Structure 1
Amino acid sequence: MAFSIGIKKHIARWQQAGLIDEVTADLLRKDVEKTRSGFGLGGILAVLGAVLLGAAIISLVAANWEAMPRLVRVVMIISVLWIGFVGGAWRASLGDKIFSQVLYLIAAITFGAGIALIGQMYHLSGEASDAVLLWIAGTMIAAFCLRSGVLVIAAVATTALYILIILDENMKSQTYLWLVPLLLFISAGLAWYAKAGLARHFIALTAITYVFVVWADMNDATVLWIAAAAGSALFLADTFLTNMVERFSGWSKALAGYGFLMLIITLGLFQFDFFDNIFSSTTKGNEVVSAVAILASAIGGLTLSGYRNLAVRWLSYTVFSLEVLYLAFKTIGTLIGTASFFLCAGVLVLLLAAFVVRMERRLQAKTAAAQGAA
C-alpha cells in the first residue's frame, strides 16, 4: 500500500511537471491499482492477529486439556480446522484476499497443535521431528487444494522449524539431508501453482539456512566451498545471462541477491575461522585473505550488478562499510587512545559516506544509460 501511494505521488509530480499528460497519468494510476497486492498494513496486522489467536487457542486448550473429555478435545480441534479451512474457502469465493488467508493460517496452526496434543493424549511415541513432518505434509496438501499463498508460506516456515528441531535432536538421523531439499522443491512448485511470490523469499532463506546447518552438522569445509560456488553462480548468471535466467525463473534479480548473500555469509565464516582446518596458514592470514575476498566481492557486486539490482547494491554497500569499519577497529583501535579512535572512526565513516554518494551517482548514470540503450 505504501509503495503504491509513493508511485501515485510520483505520477502526480510527473503530470504537474508536464512530463506526462492527463490520459497517461490516469492509465498509470489504474495500472498501479490493478497490480498492487492489497496485502498492506491491514493484511499484515490480520496475519499477526491470526498467529496470536492460534497461540491463544493452543494455550487455552493446553491449559484445560486434562479437564476435558477426550471426545470434546478431538471435536474442538476438528471444529477449528473445519471453520478455518471451510470458512476461509467461503471467504475466498467472495473475493476476500485477506481474511480468507487469515482463517487458513489459524487452521494450519491448529493442525500442528492438534498433532502435538493428540499425541500427548494417547501417549504416542516418536520424535518431535516426525510430528512436524506430518504437520508439513498436511499444510502442503491444504495449500494445494485451496491454492493458498499463506499456506505455502506456512509450509515453508514449518520446514524451517523442522530444521531447528533436527538441530535440537543433535542430528541423530541424516534423513534431513535429502528430505529438506525435497520439501523445498515441493514448496517451490506450490508457490508457482498458488502464485505466491512472497513464499519464494521464504524458500530462499530456508534453503540458505539448510546449507549452513549441513555445514554445522558435517563440520566440513567442502560444504562452504560448494555454497560459495553456488552463490557466485547465481549472482553471475543474473549478471551475464539476465534474459535467460529471467525467462526460465521470472525471478533473476532475487536469485542473484540471495546467491550474493550466501557468498558473503560463506566468506564471513572463513574470515572468523569458525573451524580450524580450512586453511593451512595462520588465523591472522585467514582473516586477511577473507577480508580481501569480502571487499573484492562487495566492489564486484556494485560494479557488475549494482546499477540494476537494488538488493545486491545495498548488500554490497553494507558489507563493504562493515568490513572496512571492522578492519579499522581491529587494527588502529588497539594502537591509539579513545579520543583519537573516535576521530579516526568519524573520518572513516565520512569517507565511506562520500564513497557511497559517488557510487550512487555513477550507478544512477549507468542505469539511465542502460535504460536509454533499451
Structure 2
Amino acid sequence: MYRARLKKDLERWAEMGLISQQASDAMLEDHDSRSTTPAIGGVLLMLSAVLLSAAILLLVAANWQAIPRLVKVSGIILLIWIFHGGAAFSLAYGRKATGQALLVLGAASFGAAMSLVGQLYHLSGDLLDLLYVWIGMATLSALIFRSGAMAGFVGLLALGLAGATIDQFNFAWVAETVWTPPLLALLIAFLSWFTGNVRVQNLAGLLLLGWLAWIYGEVMRTDLAVAYAVGGLVLFALTVLPGLARHAVVRLAGLHALLLSGLGLVILNSIYDKGLPLAFVAIGAVAVAIVALVLRGREDGQVRSVAYLIFGGEILYLSFATIDSLLGTSGFFLISGVIVALLALGASQVEKRLQARKGRAVGAGIDAGWGGERP
C-alpha cells in the first residue's frame, strides 16, 4: 500500500517538474531494495515449516510403539542435525527464506527430541523444565544465525511458558508468576533488536499486556485500572514526539501503550456499569479514541484500528448497558455525534491551514532554487 502511494507521488512530482524521471525511478528502486515486506514464496515456505513442525511433534507424541527406542532417538537427533546443517548451508548461499524455515524445523525437532526422551525413559520433570530448555536452545539458535524467524519462535515459546507458569501456580502471587513474564518480554525485545525483526516486539507487548491484566486480577484495585487507562494514553502521546516517532520500535511501543489504555477502559467499564461514573468512563473512552486519531491516526493504520475499536466497543457497551433507557442512550449518542462532528470540522480546518502553509514553504523553496525566478 505504501509503495503504491509512493509511486503515485513520485509520478506526480515528476510531472510537476519537481524531480526528474531518473530520480523518481532511483527512489522507487531504493525503496524496493530496502523493503521489509515478505515475499509470498517466503511466507508459504514458513507456513510449510510450521505445518511440518506440528507433524513432527504429533508423530513424537504418538510414541511409535513398534519402532525400537534407539532408532527413535537416533532419528530425531539426526533430524536436528540435518535441519540446522541445511539452514547453515542455505544462509551461506543467500537462500534466506529456506534457511529460516529449516531453523524453525530444527528448533521444533529439538523440542520433540526432549519430549520423546522423557516419554521413553520416564525421566522426571514437568512442562516448565522442558520449555526452559527449549527456549534456551531456540535463543542460542537465534543468536548464532541472527535469525528473525527464530526470534519469533522464541516469542511464541515465551507466551506458552508464561501461560504455563501462571497456570501451574494456580494464578497465585509468587516470584515465578511475577517475574517470568517481564523477563521473557525483555528477552524477546533483545532478540528483536539483535536480529532486526521489529515485528517480534508485538509478542513482547502482548506478553506484558497479559501480565498487567493478571496483576489487576490479583489486586482488583480501581486506581490501578485508572492508571492503566491514563498512563497508557500518556505513554502513547510521548511516542509521537518528533525525536521518537521516526523509530519503528517506538511506534510499536505506542501502539501497545494505546492497547494498555484500552485495557484500563475495559476494566473500568466492568466496574462502573451505570449512572454518572459510566458517563465519565464513556467520555474518557471517546477522548482516548479521538486523541489517538489526531496524533497518529492519519499515517498509522494500526492506531486507527485500535482507536475505532475503542470507540465502537464503548458505544456498543453503552447500548447494552443502558438499553432500559433509550432516551438516555439516544441523548448520549446525539451529544457525542455533535462533539465528534465539531472536532472533525476543527481538525479539517487545521489540516487545510497546515497544508497551505507547507505549500507556500515549498513554493518559496522552489523560487529560491531558481534565483527568485521561474523559467
State whether TM-score is above 0.5.
yes
Q: 2 CA distance for matches of 1:199 and 1:267?
A: 26
Report the RMSD for the aligned CA atoms in angstroms.
Answer: 3.7
Q: 1 CA distance for matches of 2:273 and 2:78?
A: 63
Aligned to 2:302: 311
Q: CA deviation at 1:102?
A: 0.6
Aligned to 2:212: 211
Q: Secondary structure at the match of 1:251?
A: helix
CA contact (8 A) 1:143 1:190 kept: yes
* Alpha-carbon distance change, 308 to 258 in structure 1, aligned in 2, over 3 angstroms: same
Aligned to 2:314: 323
* Alpha-carbon distance change, 289 to 54 in structure 1, aligned in 2, over 3 angstroms: same
Q: How does 1:251-270 map to 2 (within 5 A)?
A: 251-270=249-268
CA contact (8 A) 1:50 1:102 kept: yes
CA contact (8 A) 1:211 1:223 kept: no
- Is 1:80 paired with 2:79? yes
Q: CA deviation at 1:357?
A: 7.5
- Is 1:183 paired with 2:184? yes
Q: CA deviation at 1:164?
A: 2.0
Q: CA deviation at 1:53?
A: 0.7
Deviation string 1:19-38 (CA, Å, 9 cap, x unpaired) is 64211211112112211125
CA contact (8 A) 2:273 2:321 kept: no
Q: Secondary structure at the match of 2:96?
A: coil
Q: Secondary structure at the match of 1:98?
A: helix
Deviation string 1:209-259 (CA, Å, 9 cap, x unpaired) is 2221333345455654553454234213224x441x458x65322222210
Aligned to 2:270: 272
CA contact (8 A) 1:129 1:166 kept: yes
Q: Secondary structure at the match of 2:23?
A: helix
Aligned to 2:134: 135
Q: 1 CA distance for matches of 2:57 and 2:189?
A: 29
Aligned to 1:47: 46
What is the one-letter code of the residue matched to 1:85? H
Q: CA deviation at 1:17?
A: 6.3
CA contact (8 A) 1:84 1:104 kept: yes
Q: 1 CA distance for matches of 2:74 and 2:56?
A: 14
CA contact (8 A) 2:166 2:177 kept: no
Q: Which moved more, 1:316-325 or 1:150-159?
A: 316-325
* Alpha-carbon distance change, 255 to 354 in structure 1, aligned in 2, over 3 angstroms: same
Q: Which moved more, 1:127-136 or 1:165-174?
A: 165-174
* Alpha-carbon distance change, 192 to 261 in structure 1, aligned in 2, over 3 angstroms: same
Q: 2 CA distance for matches of 1:84 and 1:311?
A: 36
Match of 2:279 among 271, 279, 288: 288
CA contact (8 A) 1:306 1:363 kept: no
Q: CA deviation at 1:271?
A: 0.4
Q: Which moved more, 1:220-229 or 1:170-179?
A: 220-229
Aligned to 2:203: 202
What runs of 5+ residues in structure 2 fail to find an aligned partner?
363-375
Deviation string 1:64-90 (CA, Å, 9 cap, x unpaired) is 532222222221221221122221121
Aligned to 2:101: 102
Q: 1 CA distance for matches of 2:351 and 2:55?
A: 50
CA contact (8 A) 1:143 1:151 kept: yes
Q: Which moved more, 1:43-52 or 1:222-231?
A: 222-231
Question: How many residue pairs align between the two structures?
Answer: 358
Deviation string 1:112-141 (CA, Å, 9 cap, x unpaired) is 222222222222233312221221111111
Q: 1 CA distance for matches of 2:66 and 2:184?
A: 38
CA contact (8 A) 1:51 1:105 kept: yes
Aligned to 1:278: none
Aligned to 2:110: 111
Q: 2 CA distance for matches of 1:53 and 1:360?
A: 51
Deviation string 1:314-335 (CA, Å, 9 cap, x unpaired) is 422332233234324543x446
Q: Which moved more, 1:131-140 or 1:300-309?
A: 300-309
What is the one-letter code of the residue matched to 1:166? T
* Alpha-carbon distance change, 64 to 301 in structure 1, aligned in 2, over 3 angstroms: closer
Q: 1 CA distance for matches of 2:342 and 2:71?
A: 66
Q: Specify the structure having the higher radius of gyration (Cα).
A: 2
Q: 2 CA distance for matches of 1:369 and 1:155?
A: 49
Aligned to 1:193: 194
Q: 2 CA distance for matches of 1:360 and 1:44?
A: 40
Q: 2 CA distance for matches of 1:355 and 1:314?
A: 22
Aligned to 2:369: none
* Alpha-carbon distance change, 317 to 60 in structure 1, aligned in 2, over 3 angstroms: closer
* Alpha-carbon distance change, 328 to 246 in structure 1, aligned in 2, over 3 angstroms: closer
Q: CA deviation at 1:16?
A: 5.3
What is the one-letter code of the residue matched to 1:287? L
* Alpha-carbon distance change, 38 to 262 in structure 1, aligned in 2, over 3 angstroms: closer
Q: Which moved more, 1:214-223 or 1:98-107?
A: 214-223
Q: How does the TM-score come out when normalised to structure 1?
A: 0.81
Q: 2 CA distance for matches of 1:199 and 1:109?
A: 18
Q: 1 CA distance for matches of 2:223 and 2:117?
A: 42
CA contact (8 A) 1:268 1:294 kept: no
Q: Secondary structure at the match of 1:166?
A: helix
* Alpha-carbon distance change, 15 to 242 in structure 1, aligned in 2, over 3 angstroms: closer
Q: 2 CA distance for matches of 1:90 and 1:105?
A: 15
Aligned to 2:366: none
Q: CA deviation at 1:266?
A: 1.3
Q: 1 CA distance for matches of 2:269 and 2:262?
A: 10
